[in-house]
Amino acid sequence: MEKNKRLLALILTLVFVVAIAGCGGGSGSSGDKKLTIAMVNPLSGDAATYGVSHKNGMELAREEINKAGGIKGQQIEILFHDDSGDPKQAAAGAQKFADQKNILAIAGSCLSSSTLAMVPITDKAKLPHTVVSSSTPKLSGISPYFFRMAVQDDKVGGLMADLVKEKINAKKVVFLYPNNDYGKGLLTSLESRLKEHGIALASSQAYLATDKDFSALLTAVKAQNVDALVVGSTYTDGGLITKQAREMGLTIPIVGPTGLFSPKYVEIAGKAAEGAIFLGAFIATNPDPAVQSFVKKYKEKFGMEPDTFAALGYDQMYVLAKAMEEAAAKGAVSRESLKEAMAKSNYKGITGTVTFDAKGDWVRPYLYITVKDGKFELYK
């Protein structure tokens, strides 16, 4: 009988110990070894270059932060979900991570349509959500938990119009754009700014983002006798448009948004990419020591030169880490404390100083980039 009592006491003690261990809180508590964030991005499909570069930049920064001791001794980990550029898959990824209470924040997606599908889910879950692109104006102020390290379309379109005025001095242009939220947002802001500059928009033609043959649209462009062709595209459709335009004998300047600033654009367009001008937040040839240090480390790890998405992803990870530090200084890191710290961000990175306005937007200028001898350089 006494033996049974001792056995029962031992079992109860073990149960108590296990229960205490299980009540230690989610991975966001200050005593845990890991702080977990997630990423939803196109890691396959036509937009994969953006997602993979974004992922690489964040991973490089995460490794540096963890090697330096992490956040109060806690290591940062990232979980990934491939949305393949599909808004439905992006929403599925957002829901999967929102349901995991240990996930403190989510990054992505690169595409506006995918991010728009995610935000209602992350907002409801009160999950801090940050992107380095997704520039549609529809995302401005959409949620107090949403933070955007990108210039929104109502600024990008205007900046393209400024480029056309300042660098080309065009009098009449044509705009070709994908028939989605991204393209429509660019059109609205481009049209308005062109009017301010006294530049005529001869026509604006939409196409499907999946189109491969642009000969009909380009034939119409050729007939309109314009001074420049402005495209609101990503590297895939932009590369094809550029290549086909030059093959058809169109020699006018081609101007584009940040989406053309990718090695894939040059790969697809080939020699036709020479002289194209577009916007960018980062260029690897920037002599700034911090930029060159990043470029060196990125090349050593991934065997290629970093693009804008890689650089922004790198800064994004440090912005999140700094917010985690701020939250951890006051106690356990939670979704709510991280969101409050993110709103107060003031981080000087390799792409500029990151601060967010009342709507969660990052307002900053862009560089003018061109292609010369198959390589990117600042356009002067």
Does residue 10 have a pLDDT over 80?
A: no
For residue 84, pLDDT over 70 is answered with: yes
Domain count, the chain: 2
Report residue 12's pLDDT band, with 50, 70 and 90 as the boundaries.
very low
For residues 294 and 53, is the Cβ–Cβ distance under 8 A?
A: no
Query: Domain end: 228, 248, 280, which one?
Result: 280
Q: Is residue 189 part of a domain?
A: yes
Strands, sheet with 228-231, edge to edge from the N-terminal-most edge strand: 200-207, 172-178, 228-231, 254-256, 277-280, 367-372, 375-378
Band of pLDDT at residue 20, cut at 50, 70 and 90: very low
72 lies in some domain: yes
In this model, does residue 18 exceed pLDDT 50? no
pLDDT > 70: what percent of the chain?
Answer: 92
Residue 114 banded pLDDT, cuts 50, 70, 90: very high
Pair 187, 245 in one domain: yes
Q: What is the mean pLDDT of residues 312-326?
A: 98
Give the pLDDT of residue 281: 87
Strand partners, 254: 229
Interatomic CA distance for residues 122 and 106, integer angstroms: 8
Which helix (DSSP H) or strand (DSSP E) does residue 366 occupy? none
Instruction: Give the domain-ending residue among 240, 264, 280.
Output: 280
| Domain assignment present for 28 | no
* Cβ–Cβ under 8 Å, residues 60 and 314: yes
Domain boundary among 280, 306, 323: 280
Work out the pLDDT band at 113, boundaries 50, 70, 90. Answer: very high
pLDDT > 90 in the chain, percent: 79
The answer to whether residues 212 and 238 belong to one domain is yes
Query: 167 and 116 in one domain?
Result: no
Tokens of 130: 């940050």
User: Can you tell me the mean pLDDT for 113-140?
Assistant: 95
275 with 292, same domain: the answer is no
pLDDT at 6: 54
Average pLDDT over residues 190-207: 97
DSSP-based three-state secondary structure for 217: helix
Residues 141 and 162 in one domain: no
Lowest mean pLDDT among 14-23, 30-39, 293-302: 14-23
Q: Can you give the CATH number for the domain in which 128 is found?
A: 3.40.50.2300
pLDDT at 7: 47
Residue with tokens 């991973």: 59
Q: How confident is the model at residue 19 (pLDDT cuts 50, 70, 90)?
A: very low
Q: How far apart are CA 370 and CA 256, in angstroms?
A: 10
Q: What is the largest CA-CA distance in the chain?
A: 102
**Together in a domain, 242 and 183:** yes
Q: Are residues 158 and 275 in the same domain?
A: yes
Residue 213 lies in domain: 154-280
Average pLDDT, the chain: 90
Note whether residue 2 is domain-resident: no
Q: Is residue 36 a contact partner of residue 103, using CB atoms and an 8 Å limit?
A: yes
Q: Which two tokens stand for residue 289?
A: 């020591």
Q: In terms of domains, do 310 and 262 share one?
A: no
Instruction: Judge whether residue 4 has pLDDT over 70.
Output: no
Q: Is the pLDDT of residue 26 over 80?
A: no
* Residues 262 and 235 reside in one and the same domain: yes
CB of 360 within 8 A of CB of 146?
A: yes
Asked if residue 85 belongs to a domain, the reply is yes
Any idea what the Cα angle at residue 30 is, between residues 316 and 115, rounded to 5°?
30
pLDDT band at residue 13 using 50, 70 and 90 as cut-offs: very low
251 and 240 in a single domain? The answer is yes
Quick one: average pLDDT of 81-110? 97
Q: Which residue has the higher pLDDT, 11 or 245?
A: 245
Higher pLDDT, 134 or 40: 40
Say if residue 145 is in the same domain as residue 159.
no
Tokens 């922004």 sit on residue: 312
Regarding whether 186 and 75 lie in a shared domain, the answer is no
The pLDDT tens digits for 323-340 are 999 999 999 999 999 999
Q: How confident is the model at residue 200 (pLDDT cuts 50, 70, 90)?
A: very high
